[in-house]
């Protein structure tokens, strides 16, 4: 969970540099694999064939088979869709309320801001993974508690960055002039505030997705997240780890996919100017 916390207040770098372009290109490729891969790969990720246990890469299995004879290509495609989809939905569920509440706190101030600050402080008082584990304790292995716990952990950074930036923008002379001319809050927020905070929110969104991917994989790897036979990348690593000496590449495939997903998001968020 520390990825977002450590980088939330770093200003996004302007321009579209080589690193950012590389991140975008890699993310598009991985996103395409996650979205259309399960449709192209005809194999069922849960179908077992013990005669093909730990089948090597190539032959009947393009990326080999696991210890149950399940196609690794099919499982990786479904695992990528699961990780990418959960990360994207978690980011949206954290960003939308976080940004809206940040705008509300900055505009209203007073008791509204104090109440929201108290709620954010309470959330931050618990370590991120601990909050997720509390939700998972009620329904282990299900999507709902995992999704809700991650969203509740990540919204605080969106809220605080939005509030701090908006309060700064609202003190500028052109905002006072717009208010004196009779422009309403909706017009001011849409035309003066959102263009300023949008690059920061985009950066936070990338970091939030990377954090969600790592968290889902970590929790599944320690058997408190999504459970087998669900094709989740973290649980795939743990399942194949006892067979590392026999098929090391089989273990590295899901680990490499997690690495590439997180790398693409990090490059997209932190790209420098060309």
Give the residue extent of every domain in the chain. 82-269
| pLDDT tens, position by position, 63-81 | 889 989 999 999 999 999 9
Diameter of the chain measured on Cα atoms: 78
> Whole-angstrom Cα distance, residue 96 to residue 72?
35
Whether the per-residue pLDDT at 266 is higher than 80: the answer is yes
Whether the per-residue pLDDT at 35 is higher than 60: the answer is yes
Name every residue whose Cβ is closer than 8 Å to that of residue 77 and which is 6 or more positions away in sequence.
33, 34, 37, 38, 40, 41, 45
> Whole-angstrom Cα distance, residue 109 to residue 185?
14
Q: How confident is the prediction for the chain on average, in pLDDT?
A: 84
Whether the per-residue pLDDT at 264 is higher than 90: the answer is yes
> Whole-angstrom Cα distance, residue 12 to residue 14?
6
Q: Are 271 and 29 in contact (CB under 8 A)?
A: no
Output the pLDDT for position 193: 86
Whether the per-residue pLDDT at 158 is higher than 90: the answer is yes
Output the pLDDT for position 4: 45
Whether the per-residue pLDDT at 194 is higher than 80: the answer is yes
Give the count of alpha carbons within 13 A of 181, CB side only: 9
Mean pLDDT on 122-126: 83
User: 82-269 has which CATH code?
Assistant: 1.10.3720.10
pTM of the model: 0.83
104 pLDDT tier (thresholds 50, 70, 90): very high
14 pLDDT tier (thresholds 50, 70, 90): very low
Mean pLDDT on 99-104: 93
- Range from 139-143, 153-157, 200-204, 264-268 carrying the lowest mean pLDDT: 139-143
Token look-up 């402080």 returns 121
> Whole-angstrom Cα distance, residue 168 to residue 123?
24
Output the pLDDT for position 9: 45
């Amino acid at each position: 969970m520390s990825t977002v916390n450590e980088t939330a207040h770093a200003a996004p770098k302007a321009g579209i540099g080589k690193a950012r372009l590389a991140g975008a290109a890699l993310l598009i490729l991985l996103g395409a694999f996650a979205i259309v891969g399960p449709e192209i790969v005809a194999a069922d990720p849960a179908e077992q064939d013990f005669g093909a246990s730990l089948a090597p890469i190539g032959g009947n299995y393009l990326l080999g088979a696991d210890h149950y004879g399940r196609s690794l290509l099919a499982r990786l495609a479904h695992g990528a869709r699961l990780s990418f989809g959960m990360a994207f939905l978690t980011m949206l569920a954290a960003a939308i309320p976080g940004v809206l509440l940040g705008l509300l706190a900055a505009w209203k101030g007073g008791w509204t801001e104090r109440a929201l600050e108290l709620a954010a402080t309470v959330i931050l008082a618990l370590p991120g993974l601990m909050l997720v584990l509390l939700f998972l304790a009620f329904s282990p292995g299900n999507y709902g508690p995992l999704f809700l716990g991650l969203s509740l952990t990540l919204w605080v950074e969106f809220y605080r960055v939005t509030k701090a930036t908006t309060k700064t923008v609202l003190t500028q002379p052109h905002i006072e002039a717009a208010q004196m001319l009779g422009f309403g809050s909706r017009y001011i927020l849409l035309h003066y505030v959102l263009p300023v905070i949008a690059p920061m929110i985009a950066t936070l969104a990338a970091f939030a997705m990377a954090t969600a991917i790592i968290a889902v994989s970590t929790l599944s790897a320690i058997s408190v997240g999504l459970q087998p036979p669900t094709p989740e990348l973290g649980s795939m690593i743990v399942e194949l780890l006892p067979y590392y000496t026999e098929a090391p590449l089989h273990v590295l495939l899901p680990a490499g996919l997690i690495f590439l997903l997180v790398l693409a998001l990090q490059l997209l968020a932190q790209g420098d100017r060309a």
